[in-house]
């Protein structure tokens, strides 16, 4: 029974929150791909690691 309830809530969360938000994100990714085709797979960072990067 607890598994069933957990699955039910996960499904609810998926279809009410994840799917609408995902469609929104996917649309904007598609737009950005159409207007700005990639010439490299890299993401440019130039990020120097500091002690902040070691969260505890």
Partner 1 sequence: MTAMKIIGISCYYHDSAAALIIGDQVIAAAQEERFTRRKNEQEFPHHAICYCLAEAGLKLIDIDAFVYYENPDLKFKRIMFTWLLTAPTGLFFFLETARDWILNKQWVKRKIRKELKLIQPEGNPCLLFSNHHLSHAASAFFTSGFTESAILTIDGVGEFSTAGIYSGNGSDITLIKELRFPDSIGLLYSAVTWFLGFKVDSGEYKVMGLAPYGNRDSAGVVFFKKTLLADVVHVFEDGSVKLNQNFFSYFSGRCIIDETAWEKKFQMKRRLPESQLLQEHCDLALAIQEINDEIVLKLAIEAKKLTGSSNICLAGGVALNCVSNSYLMRAAVFDKMHIHTASGDAGGALGAALAAQYIHYEMPRNPATDYAEYVYSGPGFTAPQIVETFRKHAVKYKQTDSWEALFEVTAAALADGKIIGWFQDRMEWGARALGNRSILADAGNTEMQLKLNVNIKKREGFRPFAPVVTEEDALDYFDVPPSEHMVHVTGIRQDKRKDIPAEFSFRSMTEKMRYIKSTLPAITHIDFTARAQAVTASGNHKLWRLVKEFGKRSGYPVLINTSMNVRGEPIACTPEDALGVFAQTGMDYLVIENFIVNKAENMHLTTSNVLVKSFNLD
- The span from the CA of 15 to the CA of 26, in Å, is 15
- Residue reference for tokens 């309830």: 5
Buried b (16+ CB within 10 A) or exposed e, 19-30: eeeeeeeeeeee
> For partner 1, which residue of 10, 12, 16, 31 counts as binding (CB under 8 A)?
10
> For partner 1, which residue of 1, 2, 36, 51 counts as binding (CB under 8 A)?
51
> For partner 1, which residue of 14, 16, 27, 32 counts as binding (CB under 8 A)?
14
Enumerate binding residues for partner 1 (CB under 8 A): 6-7, 10-11, 14-15, 18-19, 21-23, 25-26, 29, 38-51, 53-56
């Amino acid at each position: 029974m607890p598994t069933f309830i957990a699955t039910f809530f996960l499904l609810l969360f998926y279809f009410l929150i994840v799917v609408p938000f995902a469609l929104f994100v996917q649309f904007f990714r598609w737009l950005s791909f159409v207007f700005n085709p990639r010439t490299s797979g890299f993401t440019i960072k130039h990020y120097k690691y500091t002690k902040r990067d070691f969260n505890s």
